[in-house]
Amino acid sequence: MQRTIRIFTDGSAIGNPGPGGWAALILDHSKRTVLHGGKSYTCITEMELTAALEALRSLREPSKVALFSDSELLIKGMQHLVAKWAREGWRNRRGGKLHYRAIWIELLALNAVHFIEWHWIKGHNGHREQEYADRIAYEQANALRYHLKAA
C-alpha cells in the first residue's frame, strides 16, 4: 500500500494586501520538510493557494496525499469548484475573471497527478502541525514587512 504524505499549509498577509508569507510542513513517513516563502505585496488568499501549490510541486513522484489547510476557499475550491471553473472558462459566478487563475490551473493539474484528499482544519485551534505552518507563514510575512520598512 502506498504511504500517505501529510501536508499542512498556511498563508499570511500583513495588511491584506501587504507583505505576505506562506508555509508548508510535509510529513513523509519519518521525513519532515518545511517549505516557505513570501511576496512583498499580496493577500492572504494568494499565500494560502501558493502554500499548497509549492508543497505539491515539491513531490518528486505521484503520491497519495492528505493536504490540510485552514483556508475554506482552497479546500472547497479543490473539492467542488475547480472543475466547474475550468468548464466555465475560469470565470467566477458573476462572470468575471477568476482571481489567481494560474494557481488554480496548476493545482488542478497536480490534483490529477497525485491522489489528494483535501481537508479543512480550523485555524488557531491548537493543532500542532497547523499552528507550526501558521507561525512560519507569519514569520515570512513579518520578515518582508521589516525588510520593506528598512529599505
Q: Which residues are catalytic?
A: 10-11, 48, 70, 124, 134
Grid cell at residue 96: 468575471
d(CA 8, CA 66): 9
Question: Taking Cα atoms as reference points, which of 9, 138, 7 lies closest to residue 71?
Answer: 9
At which residue does the C-alpha cell 492572504 appear? 44
Going by their DSSP bridges, the two strands 18-28 and 4-13 should be labelled as antiparallel
Question: Taking Cα atoms as reference points, which of 85, 11, 91 lies closest to residue 46?
Answer: 11
